[in-house]
A and B are shown apart, each in its own frame.
Chain A
Amino acid sequence: MQKHKLRIGIVTTYPPGAGSLNEYAFHFVHALEQKQEVAEIILLVDELPPGQRYDQPDLNQLHKGVEGSTGTGEAPVAVAPLRFVPCWRFNSSLNSWRILRAVQQCKLDVVLFNIQFASFGDRKIPAALGLMTPALLRLFGVPTVALLHNIMETVDLKNAGFNYNPLIEKLIRLIGWLVTSIVLRANLVAVTIPKYVEILEKRYGAQNVLLAPHGSFASEAMPPSFDLPQGPLQIMTFGKFGTYKRVETLVEAFHLLQTKHDTALELVIAGTDSPNAPNYLENVAKQYANVPNIRYTGYVREEDVPHIFGEAAAVVFPYTSTTGSSGVLHQAGEYGKAVVLPRIGDLAELISEEGYTGEFFEPNSPQSLADAIGYIIDDPERRIEMGRQNYLAAQGLPLLEVVDWYLLHIESLLKK
């Protein structure tokens, strides 16, 4: 008997939208659309600024069936059609209602949420109201799975961009506890780090939380080249900057490195401001105008990502706190790169849990960071060895397989 194919809705940001988790969504959807259990994917995305639009695939072409590979030993399958339904706005308090209405019109089997605590806004009320959507949909009979990329218990609020006094921090934690309790009303809540499962089970008594690893984005195993291009050695950082990803310490460390090294060096700051920190990089560029050999790439298009990573001698994570499993770490692994990481909770755990390796530095210490980068760029053998281990770790679990985990859990959920 032919199995019922799923119509899956995903509430998310998506390129060219610049909201956080857009890159993860892009790769997740690319993996999901290759699965034969999927009839159609409806992306319930945020509305774009004027002049931008989502790249709606040609449905007629898709319905003819484009051959894809699952990469898991399965037969090639047709790519599921993809449809964009822009239905929510960053910082709007009406998002839950709008998403509910869109879901009801689309008649979906299940709705996935690709979210973190600031997905729906950087203002507390819209952010909190948006996070109630999984529970609301479930209340209306729609099965929901929330992929929660961070949890309140592990976010350093001050470093994550919320500059409040301790009393207000306590209040935010309380609101965070309430909001988390509501997010846990989804049928299933997936998190990417084992510790998150344990925290949510212990603090909230949750029984519906599961570990679904971040997964690597590369679909085919292509061993990377460990050779570097001619020219200066590139030290690269990648992401959306200004909140908990801040480059001041990195720029100062780079300055120290340049004064002590004969080798030509270049610092590549790849990416844009976080939506929560407009003009951050412009201000950094002004502040450190005296430090030479820094390149600000701006937004990196998907097709340029391999060059940016491929040319880097080391990838640095100038995080002051973390808010979840790092997509950039997985990307660095895919390109066989040595990485430099701060000595803070999540990343250290991720390294040990998923088989990655890196040099560590004390957050906010330019000297410590300069030393850590120096260990890598001064020792090519060490750089290559670290890159090789990170490559093997990244290959361990492709996102293409993680998506199967979701589908199996959804299948079990819908059987109930």
Chain B
Amino acid sequence: MTNQMNIAIHENVVRIVTVAPEGRLDAFSAPKFREKVLSLIADGVKYIVLDLSQTPFMDSAGMAALVSALKQCRQLGGDVRMVWPQADPVKRILSLTKFDRVFEMKNTVEEAVSSF
């Protein structure tokens, strides 16, 4: 009698990409931001951390670019986490639009990454 045991090993690596806009995110810069996120998604990324901690300004067009990223990731079965901004104009637009209740907000990138 042989004492054989089959062991199946699967390694699941979740690819999480952090995107950190460090300049103004407004009507003029939002198209470039969208382009970057679209290229990531086309490359198979569906879990994204949006790190707004170094973003000095954001308007509703910038907010729309983040929402678009969230929607596309969720449609692919992924999701987005957001790291709280430091700058008041960015906090203001998040608060006005109440997207701080729609996005899962985290204090640090590490916390965001580990939450997926």
Contacts and interface: CB of A to CB of B under 8 A. Distances in A.
Q: Do A and B come from the same complex?
A: yes
Interface of A: 36, 72-74, 194, 197-198, 209-213, 353-355, 392-393, 395-397, 401-402, 404-405, 408-409, 412
Contacts of A397: 27, 60-61, 64
A408 B72 CA distance: 12
Interface string B29-59: 0100010001000000000000000000001
B59 A74 contact: no
A408 B27 contact: no
Contact of A401 (B26, B67, B92): B67
B72 A355 contact: no
A401 B101 contact: no
Contacts of B72: 72-74
Query: Could you tell me the dominant secondary structure of chain A's interface residues?
Result: helix
Contact of A404 (B28, B67, B92, B98): B67
Interface in B60-74: 60-61, 64, 67-68, 70-72
Given A211-B96, A392-B28, A412-B102, A73 B60 contact: no
A411 to B, nearest CB: 8
B107 interface: no
Contacts of A395: 27
A213 B93 CA distance: 11
Contacts of A74: 71-72, 75
Contact of B97 (A36, A210, A412): A210
B97 A353 contact: no
Contact of B60 (A72, A354, A409): A354
B78 to A, nearest CB: 14
Given A210-B96, A396-B60, A409-B98, 14 more contacts: A72-B68, A72-B71, A194-B92, A211-B98, A355-B27, A355-B59, A355-B61, A392-B28, A396-B30, A401-B64, A405-B97, A405-B99, A408-B70, A408-B99
B102 A409 contact: yes
A408 B61 contact: no
A221 B96 CA distance: 27
Contacts of B97: 210-212, 405
A393 B60 CA distance: 11
Contacts of B92: 194
Contacts of A212: 97
